Amino acid sequence: MADTTDPRLTSLAQSLPATVPFVGPEAQERARGKPFVARLGANESGFGPSPKAIAAIQNAAGIVWQYADPEAYDLRQALAVHHGIDAEHIMVGEGIDTLLGNLVRLLIAPGDAVVTSAGAYPTFNYHVTGFGGVLHSVPYAGNYEDPERLIAKANAVGAKLIYIANPDNPMGSHHDAVTLQRMISAVPDGCLLILDEAYIDLAPEGTSPYVAPQDDRVIRMRTFSKAYGLAGARVGYALGAKPLIAAFDRVRNHFCMAKLSQIAALEALQDQDWLAHVQNEVAACRDRLAAIALDNGLTPLPSATNFVTIDCGADGSFARRVLQAIGEAGIFVRMPFVTPHDRCIRVSCAPEADINAFATSLPYALKAARAAT
Amino acid sequence: MADTTDPRLTSLAQSLPATVPFVGPEAQERARGKPFVARLGANESGFGPSPKAIAAIQNAAGIVWQYADPEAYDLRQALAVHHGIDAEHIMVGEGIDTLLGNLVRLLIAPGDAVVTSAGAYPTFNYHVTGFGGVLHSVPYAGNYEDPERLIAKANAVGAKLIYIANPDNPMGSHHDAVTLQRMISAVPDGCLLILDEAYIDLAPEGTSPYVAPQDDRVIRMRTFSKAYGLAGARVGYALGAKPLIAAFDRVRNHFCMAKLSQIAALEALQDQDWLAHVQNEVAACRDRLAAIALDNGLTPLPSATNFVTIDCGADGSFARRVLQAIGEAGIFVRMPFVTPHDRCIRVSCAPEADINAFATSLPYALKAARAAT
């Protein structure tokens, strides 16, 4: 039976939970017996990728029999030009998740300390636990991750890694570049700061701190999954010092990236007009989601991302009931995992029809949630 | 500089070589300044995947903004029907490489013993070393992996894993099902046999041993990269006992698979007529490659795969010179890494034009290789 554990697993593997970080919306669709009418739960971009990226996939579909270039040379060269740095500062991987996993594997031996915020990205925690690292978390300062407290904790526990997302997920908040630069300058010796910038393309200009390419105190994570609209292609990249970037070659799965994903990401990067279009759409949608929240007596949090986190004004039980009722109305939405963030639901920006469906469902969901108390 | 090592790496990561298991043909193309005219080196299928799979990719390209189902439910259900087993016996992953990496991570702690054949799949060795396992290898028996010797070595060193590929890569040989069944019955307690069946769809009927779904002595690896022609999509799967299959959920990267890859693999699986077409093409191409070898005074080895390994009749230096000259003629071919296999070159089956190019190049390559002695 699958509920027994194979006795041949390593003691570390034996100790790991058999649970998964996120259940996909498809599993929920199977449970409810019909598809969602709107996918607003995973911060995918319903605005889609550049039409040129879609066309490139279609045109290249016939060569899917070829393995992708394990060095992702063309994409790395284009990223090097885009960022004005050498390609040796860039590692391309199958989404930030894969890069985080490789990075944890490179730096964390069993028992090593890692610092993050309580309620930050669960998949990072999954990797840390998976390689035997010891997680230490600090609370958010309200709706913001707390750089000073993260640094203080890292000093206290002798952390090898610190994780921060800027902008933040799941709260949508962000710090300015100066705050991040101050944080970087305070990273303890022997420690590495992971700056997850998955949502940076949707943040105000100047949110990303300047980091000298050779600065080995920080590694930045970027993705084509959010603003570029290629979540299903699985392409992300890390920016960092050359020795650290080179180290990924020691453990990564060199031939893991899909051929058409590399091609699509290259096209998407080169269509910055489409990116600007999506940025405008997202900005307008954030305003609309905020207005919907206010119309329903709820509090939208400011967002520097492609989602709006909405404070439902009560506790986690209440927000979970709201989420449940929205789901029953056919709309896939997620919410933060931990208290006090779990007073909120988190709604992805999307095309108008999807947001209309959310707007229609919300009053009924709130009514249902209130009736259940 | 990238040639220094980041001192924050774990001692295990510090110990790993910075080299890669395989250099891609694209790197060779960049070095020579022009593309290859034929890709015959990676056992990709130039016959391509099912046209229905290509069409499915093209039709679904517009939803590449969605993450794939992390459970790969539809594909696993289809595979369950295809194999006549429960879906809980099946783990889908981003190619066999990823599944091998996850499996090694689950079972191998630093210092644990692993047994393979000298000259067998280097990426498996890469994973074993990468997780601190200790590799023990036994020689081939001629052009065949040696099941009895693998088992004897596993007993001698107390191995936790044994690797065998059937059919074999890089020699193209195979054992019959009875031989594999005998091997499975001899797997030591506490050990797991990895039976890599990447090429099984191209082997004679009856090559794959019957394995009871719940048999936990063996895990089988299958792929869509070879006969199904989807190498660039990165889709493979493992067949094994439920507790072992369930354990993958503890360490795998749940959202790593590309959306269009799942869709393409499902279509490819359902087009068994195309598979039969490819099997016929490959069989004919093997005969042609054998004839080309004989015409040039070389010895083709029998093949149960989509490649033909050709004994060049001398030592590794000679075969490397032949390979070099074939490469200079614009044809990507690889060869086995270790002696005595490195007397051979390994040529993938492919459409007629590609094989014609190889046939044209070979006499000149042999002449060049002989002239250089």
B2·A243 Cβ contact <8 A? yes
pLDDT for B285-296, tens place per residue?
A: 999 999 999 999
Give the per-residue pLDDT at B23: 87
The pTM of this model reads 0.97
Q: Could you tell me which chain A residue has the CA closest to the CA of B18?
A: A250
Residue A5 lies in a domain: no
Q: What is the mean pLDDT of residues B220-249?
A: 98
Task: Of A213, A240, A274, A246, give the one whose Cα is nearest residue A48.
Answer: A274
Residues B42 and B180 in one domain: no
B17·A98 Cβ contact <8 A? no
The alpha carbon of residue A250 is apart from the nearest alpha carbon of chain B, in Å, by 5
Last residue of a domain, one of B252, B271, B290: B271
Last residue of a domain, one of A271, A288, A307: A271
Residues of A in contact with B94 (CB under 8 A): 94, 253, 256
pLDDT for B168-215, tens place per residue?
A: 999 999 999 999 999 999 999 999 999 999 999 999 999 999 999 999
Residues A96 and A174 in one domain: yes
Residues B200 and B121 in one domain: yes
Rounded to 10 deg, the angle between the B352-371 and B272-295 helix axes is 30
Residues A28 and A87 in one domain: no
Give the per-residue pLDDT at A1: 43
Give the per-residue pLDDT at B1: 44
The alpha carbon of residue A175 is apart from the nearest alpha carbon of chain B, in Å, by 27
pLDDT tens for chain A, 373 residues: list them: 456 899 999 999 999 998 777 789 999 999 999 999 999 999 999 999 999 999 999 999 999 999 999 999 999 999 999 999 999 999 999 999 999 999 999 999 999 999 999 999 999 999 999 999 999 999 999 999 999 999 999 999 999 999 999 999 999 999 999 999 999 999 999 999 999 999 999 999 999 999 999 999 999 999 999 999 999 999 999 999 999 999 999 999 999 999 999 999 999 999 999 999 999 999 999 999 999 999 999 999 999 999 999 999 999 999 999 999 999 999 999 999 999 999 999 999 999 999 999 999 999 999 999 998 6
The DSSP symbol for B200 reads G
Residue A196 lies in a domain: yes
CA–CA separation, A152 and A140 (whole Å): 14
Residues A286 and A141 in one domain: no
Residues B234 and B285 in one domain: no
In three-state secondary structure terms, B221 is: strand
Give the per-residue pLDDT at B232: 98
Residues A97 and A58 in one domain: yes
The alpha carbon of residue A238 is apart from the nearest alpha carbon of chain B, in Å, by 15
Residues A151 and A222 in one domain: yes
Residues A114 and A250 in one domain: yes
Q: Could you tell me which chain B residue has the CA closest to the CA of A21?
A: B254
Residue B4 lies in a domain: no
pLDDT for B107-154, tens place per residue?
A: 999 999 999 999 999 999 999 999 999 999 999 999 999 999 999 999
Residues A197 and A281 in one domain: no
Residue A82 sits in a domain whose CATH number is 3.40.640.10
Cβ A217 vs Cβ A197: under 8 Å: no
What are the tokens at B150? 């693998």
Residue A206 lies in a domain: yes
Residues B234 and B317 in one domain: no
Residue B313 sits in a domain whose CATH number is 3.90.1150.10
Selected residue of B6, B105, B125, B189 to mutate for chain A interface (largest A Cβ count, 10 A) = B6
Residue B167 lies in a domain: yes
Task: Of A368, A322, A362, A369, give the one whose Cα is nearest residue A342.
Answer: A322
Cβ B310 vs Cβ B345: under 8 Å: yes
A vs B: CB pairs below 8 A: 273
Cβ B291 vs Cβ B328: under 8 Å: no
B64·A234 Cβ contact <8 A? no
What is the total count of domains within chain A?
2
What's the domain range around B336? Answer: 11-48+273-371
Residue B6 lies in a domain: no
Residues A261 and A280 in one domain: no
Residue B3: pLDDT over 80: no
A94·B253 Cβ contact <8 A? yes
Q: Could you tell me which chain B residue has the CA closest to the CA of A110?
A: B10
Last residue of a domain, one of B249, B271, B293: B271
Residue A2 lies in a domain: no
Residue B5 lies in a domain: no
Selected residue of A69, A250, A251, A278 to mutate for chain B interface (largest B Cβ count, 10 A) = A250
Selected residue of A45, A234, A254, A266 to mutate for chain B interface (largest B Cβ count, 10 A) = A234
